[in-house]
Amino acid sequence: MKPIEIGRLLRAGTTGFVVGCRVSQLEAPSFGALVRVPLGDAYQVYGLIYDMRIDDDGLVRQLVTADGVDEHIIADNRINRNVPLEMSVLGVGYQQDGRIFHLLPPRPALCLDLIYLCDPQEICEFTAAGRFGYFRHVLRAQDLPVGELLAAHVQQVQRAHLAAGDPTWIERATRELITLLRDDYPTLMSVLGALADAVSGDVVGEA
Partner 1 sequence: MAVDFQQVREQVKQLGENARQHEQSLQDKRKQASELLEHHAGNLQKLREKVLRVAQQFDQSLRCAVPVEAGFRPPEALDAHFPVSQMPAQVVVLAADGSQIAPDRHQQVRYCLINVGGICIQHGQALPPVIHVESQLFYGDELYTPTGTITESTLALRRDLHEREMLLNLAQGFSQPVVSFTDGPMELWGPREVEAQGEFRKSLEEYLKLLRQLAKLGVITAGYVDNPLADLVVRMLEVAGASESELSQVRAQHPLRGVTDKELFREILLPGERSAVFALQSHSAAQYSEELSLHFFYLNVGRDAHPWLARVEIPAWVAGNDEQLNLLHASLVDQCHILGAHPYPYALHRAHEVAVVSLQEKDQITQMITLELHNRGVGIGDKSNKQYFKDQPGRTSFRGS
Judged by DSSP in three states, 164 sits in: coil
66 is an interface residue for partner 1 by CB under 8 A: yes
32/48 Cα distance (integer angstroms): 6
Number of residues binding to partner 1, judged by CB under 8 A: 16
Compare residues 78 and 136 and give the one whose CB is closer to partner 1: 78
Q: Is 76 in the site for partner 1 (CB under 8 A)?
A: yes
Residue 86: which of 157, 141, 16, 191 has the closest Cα?
16
Is 140 a binder of partner 1 (CB under 8 A)?
A: no
Indicate the residue among 11 and 175 with the shorter CB distance to partner 1. Answer: 11
**Is position 111 an interface residue for partner 1 (rule: CB under 8 A)?**
no
Given 53, 70, 96, 189, the residue binding partner 1 (CB under 8 A): 70
Residue span 186-205 as binding mask against partner 1, x where in contact by CB under 8 A, dash where not:
--------------------
**Which residue of 11, 53, 81, 140 would you call a contact of partner 1, by CB under 8 A?**
81
- Cα–Cα dist 161/123, whole Å: 8
Complex with partner 1: residue 61 or 131, whichever CB lies closer: 61
d(CA 29, CA 6) in angstroms, rounded, equals 7
Quick check: 75 binds partner 1 (CB under 8 A)? yes
What's the CA dihedral at 149, 130, 171, 200 to 10 degrees?
Answer: 30
CA distances from 184 to 139, 144, 155, 181, 190 (A): 11, 16, 23, 5, 10
Provide the binding-site residues for partner 1, judged by CB under 8 A.
Answer: 59, 62-63, 65-67, 69-73, 75-76, 79-81
